[in-house]
Each structure stands twice: as C-alpha cells, then as structure tokens.
Amino acid sequence: TKVEYSIYNKDTYNFNKASFIIVCINTRVLSSSKKKKAYIQSLENRKWVSIIECISTTRQKLHYIVIFKGKNLQTTWFPLSYIPSWLYTTSENGWTLNVIGTKWLQRIFIPKIAISGSQYCLLILDGHSSHINIDFLWLCKQHHIKLLYLPVYLSHVLQPLDLAPFSVIKSSYQRQIQELASLDNAAPIKKERFIACYYQAREEGFTECIIQAGWQAAGICPFNISQVLNSSQVSQRPTTPT
C-alpha cells in the first residue's frame, strides 16, 4: 500500500483504543486493625472509560477522545483546577460507537493530515466494528486515507500503540489508583480523578522514545519483518518429523 500510493513514513499513523475500569481495590493489611479493606464493584456496576489515541512514525501524538459512560457530559466530572484540552464524549457503555470513530476522524485526524499537505496517508488499525462502518470508510476515501486493518488475533504483536505506549500508560495508571486506594481507604476513582491519573500516565507513556519503541517492536518503522516473526508472543510452528 505504501509503495503503491507513495506514502512516506511521516504519513503513517496507528490508531487504537484502550479501556479503563474506574475502580480502586486496596488489599493492604493495616497493622493497627489487622483488617483488610477493599472496594470491589460487581461487573455490572463497574464504569468504563475508553480512550482513542493515535501516533505517527515521526513520534507525534495526536489529540484524542475520552469516552465516558453516560448520556451527556456533566460539569461535575471534570477537575476544577485544570481541564486538559482533550475531546470528551459519552456512550451508553463507555465503549466506542460508530459515530465516535467518525467524530475522531472529523475533529482530530482529518484536520491533522490536512496540515501536512501530503496526497495520501496510511492509518493502521484493528478491525473493530466502529472502524469499518460506511461513514468511517467514506470519510477516509474522500480524504485519501488508506486503511490497513491488522489481522485478527495479531494486534498484540503488530499494533505499535499496544506494544509500548499503552503498556506504560496502563502500568502507570494502575500504580496511581493503587496509591490512591491506600490513601483514601479504597474510595472509588471518580471521573475527575481518572482525568488527572490518565494525564499523568500519558505523560509517562507517550514520550518520543516510547512511541518509537512501539513502531520498532511492530517491525513497521524501521521495516523489519523478523522483529515480528521472532517475537516471543508469536507461536512457533512445530517441526514436522521427517
């Protein structure tokens, strides 16, 4: 695809979603009371927040969408001191919907590539249903966005965002909520606290070095097919006895 449409590395992007549960669990045993304290919600009551992120091979990080569970955004969800200039929206379950993927294209990605002035760009993504609906595909066609869908069950070895940035972000986020649990007697993480925690985690996980590590681990930039074939996460084909 890159050769056919003369797409340069600088015009190659990876788009993906990460989801987080808003919950704190504290399993520390306090020496004074010897009582284990925990805050655990049932699966039905857990609240999800999803993030749509996008990075380029030039180590750029684009603006992103935060998807809260709910019908409408509420002012009480946001910190009073500082509200990061992200794009916020809602869905009934806190996950992505077709309309949200399309909104990301319209509000974030298309304006970004328009600035670059390139004729074509390549967007690497998984085959989630919100990425293959007719509106999403039509917008991409109109704006010369070529889509490369990753093979099913292989995104964990081919998706740059999964291989480095999201891994660091999730570790940092988990560490922060565990610290909050120990300080706040395992009170649940609310939406305004999630924003603060994710902001800090993103600062740690979206450095230029870590973004580049994701592209390298996927064997995309620089191109290196052996990087994937030799990955410990790829099952080795058993040898056939002769």
pLDDT of residue 90: 86
> Domain total for the chain?
1
Q: What pLDDT score does 147 carry?
A: 94
Q: Which phi and psi angles does 91 have, rounded to 5°?
A: -145, 165
Per-residue confidence (pLDDT) for residue 141, from 0 to 100: 95
* pLDDT tens readout for residues 100-128: 888 899 999 999 988 777 789 999 998 76
Cα dihedral 179, 90, 124, 8, rounded to 10, equals -100
pLDDT in tens, 173-223: 999 888 877 665 544 567 878 888 999 999 999 999 999 999 999 999 988
Look at 122 and 8; give whichever has higher pLDDT.
122
Average pLDDT, the chain: 80
Domain for residue 222, yes or no?
Answer: yes
CATH code (residue 211): 3.30.420.10
Predicted local confidence at residue 216, as pLDDT: 95
Whether 241 maps to a domain, the answer reads no
pTM, two decimals, is 0.81
What is the pLDDT at residue 55?
A: 97
The Cα 15–Cα 53 span in angstroms is 6
Range of the domain at 83: 9-229
pLDDT average, residue stretch 58-78: 86
User: What is the sign of the dihedral through the CA atoms of 173, 10, 16 and 114?
Assistant: positive
Identity of the amino acid at 18: A
Asked if residue 234 belongs to a domain, the reply is no
H-state helical runs in the chain: 98-104, 110-116, 134-142, 155-158, 160-163, 165-183, 191-205, 208-217, 225-229
How do residues 136-184 score in pLDDT, each as one tens digit? 999 999 999 999 998 877 877 899 999 999 999 999 999 988 887 766 5
**% of the chain beyond a pLDDT of 70:** 77
